[in-house]
Amino acid sequence: MSLDSVLRQTFEIVEAIVIGDGSRDSSRDIIQKYAAKDDRIIPALQKNAEIVPGLFLMGKVLSLKA
């Protein structure tokens, strides 16, 4: 999984913002487990609202980090 590569990074400045769009699979649990392992993984979880609100959330998270 691509989040495993984030965990293997030795650079402390690496971050992965992972958006959980409320899908009905186990994505939310997976994201939370990875975030608990390493604080460089930033979860952004929301209820399912289709693609446009998901992109808005991503822009909001990125602007907070800048």
Please report, in tens digits, the pLDDT of each residue of the chain (66 residues total): 688 887 888 887 878 888 887 777 888 899 899 999 988 888 888 777 665 555 666 566 555 554
State pTM to two decimals: 0.63
Measure the CA–CA gap between 43 and 35, rounded to whole angstroms: 7
What is 8-30 written as a DSSP string? H---TT--EEEEE---SSSHHHH
Question: Three-class SS of residue 6?
Answer: helix
Q: Are 43 and 32 in contact (CB under 8 A)?
A: yes
Longest dimension (CA), the chain: 35
